[in-house]
Amino acid sequence: MSIKGSCEKIKIETVFPIFLIFTVLSAAIRTYQCLSIIEPDTGFYSKSNFTIAFLYIALAVAGVGMFLVSYVAKKVPISTLPQGKNIPLAIASVVFGVTFFADALMQAATCISFSDVIAENMSVVPGGMASYLIKSGIAPKGLEALFAVLSAIYFINFAVKYFGASATVENRKILAVMPVFWATMRMIQRFTRTISIIFVSDLLLELFMIAFMMMFFLSFAQLASNVNSRHVVNKVYAYGLIGAMIAVTVSVARIVVLAVDSSLAVVNDPLEVCDLGFAIFAAVFCFVMLKMPREDNITLRQVEKLRKEHDEETQEN
């Protein structure tokens, strides 16, 4: 017997108090760390502090809590996109699309700044040149810029739909997976950095954030494109809100540091507005989905069983 959807007393709405409380708490702790105990030149913690373990424990507790609530809740929003005009969702989509364009410009500018270095290495054999482009992070940055533009086009189209214009997103199946590739390129970039990923605080948080982004985008693409979407709504809530929580935690701390004392900003870890764009979109989308009709929160195996039973009844009739 599956425990998915087994608890009638737990409502999917319960994820939001968990999200709000722990996001505020984690952002405050992270801001304190960036202002007090993190070395700007390395990103390492400069000294031992109880907030280091406390932050990771808080994020883990919140993440497990949101995942369990979304998994065991008896009813979840129906597995279709909201219909009709929806201004909050449209605005969130525009914001996300604009931040994708901003990320594309940032990555493209970085690639252009490396043009002289690339030219100097053009004499290297093709295999060596390819290896250099990958290891240096130039190739992932270029691909990230490309996928960011395509993702921006998708979410601007998404916004047009919810501003009430005639537009469809259900048939944009290829564009729907562009954010997955974008997040994948961001993940690859993190592994091209020649530093330890275990003790560098910003990088470790970013890896978790991007991992949950990737899982959200994949589930969101299924839902938006109506491809095996019956079983993914709980994943949209869990992965989306966990990723949004970490994105806010990372971004708010960087914004405060830049506002208070930019000399404390960690080198090579700039503020990336696309993280805030993701947090806004994921949170707004999950909130808007609460207004949708509810259906049983079932597993893929149960979905297939119901579909088989339906097909058999159809054949008999």
Per-residue pLDDT, 127:
54
Read off the pLDDT of each residue in 272-291 and give the average, rounded to a whole number.
95
Read off the pLDDT of each residue in 134-152 and give the average, rounded to a whole number.
83
Does residue 185 form part of some domain?
Answer: yes
State which residues form the domain around 173.
12-316
The DSSP annotation for the chain comes to ---TT-BSS--GGGHHHHHHHHHHHHHHHHHHHHHHTB-TTT-BBSS--HHHHHHHHHHHHHHHHHHHHHHHBSEEE-SS---S--HHHHHHHHHHHHHHHHHHHHHHHHHHHTHHHHHHTTTS-HHHHHHHHHHTTHHHHHHHHHHHHHHHHHHHHHHHHHTTSS---TT-HHHHTHHHHHHHHHHHHHHTSSS-SSSBHHHHHHHHHHHHHHHHHHHHHHHHHTSS-TT-HHHHHHHHHHHHHHHHHHHHHHHHHHHH-GGGSPTT----HHHHHHHHHHHHHHHHHTTSPEEE---HHHHHHHHHHHHHHHHH-
Tell me how many domains the chain contains: 1
Does residue 5 form part of some domain?
Answer: no
Does residue 1 form part of some domain?
Answer: no
Does residue 64 form part of some domain?
Answer: yes
pLDDT band at 260 (very low <50, low <70, confident <90, very high): confident
pLDDT band at 310 (very low <50, low <70, confident <90, very high): low
Percent of the chain with pLDDT over 90: 46
Q: Is the pLDDT of residue 198 over 60?
A: no
Per-residue pLDDT, 307:
64
Name the more confident of 207 and 40. Answer: 207
Name the more confident of 45 and 251. Answer: 251
Q: Which of 88, 81, 126, 96 is nearest to 289 (CA)?
A: 81
Read off the pLDDT of each residue in 10-27 and give the average, rounded to a whole number.
95
Name the more confident of 49 and 94. Answer: 94
Name the more confident of 269 and 254. Answer: 254
Q: Which of 309, 269, 132, 150 is nearest to 221 (CA)?
A: 150
Per-residue pLDDT, 314:
65
The single-letter code of the amino acid at 310 is H
Q: Is the pLDDT of residue 179 over 70?
A: yes
Per-residue pLDDT, 50:
87
Per-residue pLDDT, 22:
97
pLDDT digits (tens, 9 = 90+) for 64-74: 999 999 999 98
Kindly report the average pLDDT of the chain as a whole number. 84
- Give the predicted TM-score (pTM) of the model: 0.87
Both tokens of 251, joined, read 């971004």
pLDDT band at 7 (very low <50, low <70, confident <90, very high): confident
From CA 304, how far away is CA 310, in angstroms rounded?
Answer: 10
Does residue 2 form part of some domain?
Answer: no
Does residue 121 form part of some domain?
Answer: yes
Does residue 3 form part of some domain?
Answer: no
pLDDT band at 21 (very low <50, low <70, confident <90, very high): very high
Q: Is the pLDDT of residue 197 over 50?
A: no
Both tokens of 154, joined, read 């998708």
Per-residue pLDDT, 231:
79
From CA 211, how far away is CA 273, in angstroms rounded?
Answer: 17
Q: Is the pLDDT of residue 312 over 90?
A: no
Read off the pLDDT of each residue in 207-231 and give the average, rounded to a whole number.
90
Name the more confident of 29 and 204. Answer: 29
Name the more confident of 89 and 37. Answer: 89
Read off the pLDDT of each residue in 35-46 and give the average, rounded to a whole number.
79
Does residue 145 form part of some domain?
Answer: yes
